[in-house]
Amino acid sequence: MNASPEIICPACGRESLLLRAPRYDGFKKVGESLRCAACGYEFASEAEVPFKAHAQTEVFSETDRPKPLRLFNENETERLCRRCAHYTINPFMQWCGLHRREVEATDTCPSFAPRGAPKKPLL
């Protein structure tokens, strides 16, 4: 449910308020009349009402969300530290075990040693 009565009226183009009034058929309530407070334009149904809050939420819909960044360019031939047997990673840093220094995953290194496909357990 959208509790906000603020709308952006398609008829008058203004930021306005939604006027709700019960509609009766004789004494029986048959629905609601939904009208623009500024110009009196009547909406056919609640689904047609351009609620202002709703319109703002749509700006941040799922499709507009930035895609997760691809951190690494997948190229098997690159001598990247992150592909190296000496490279270790922990929550605090990325570490080259050979040079005993901090490295970046995308660094390249002349002492690159490819990690063997069947991984040897690190001792």
Residues that bind Zn ion (CB under 5 A): 9, 11-12, 36, 38-39, 41
Min. distance of Cβ 65 from Zn ion in angstroms? 32
Q: Which residue has the tokens 């809050």?
A: 53
Min. distance of Cβ 69 from Zn ion in angstroms? 43
Which of 39/55 has CB closer to Zn ion? 39
Which of 36/103 has CB closer to Zn ion? 36
Min. distance of Cβ 24 from Zn ion in angstroms? 24
Closest CA to 88 of 77, 79, 78, 100: 100
Measured CA to CA in angstroms, residue 119 lies from 46, 85, 114, 116, 123 at distances of: 61, 9, 11, 6, 12
Which of 34/36 has CB closer to Zn ion? 36
Residues in Cβ contact with 56 at an 8 Å cutoff, skipping those fewer than 6 apart: none
Which of 49/80 has CB closer to Zn ion? 49
Min. distance of Cβ 57 from Zn ion in angstroms? 21
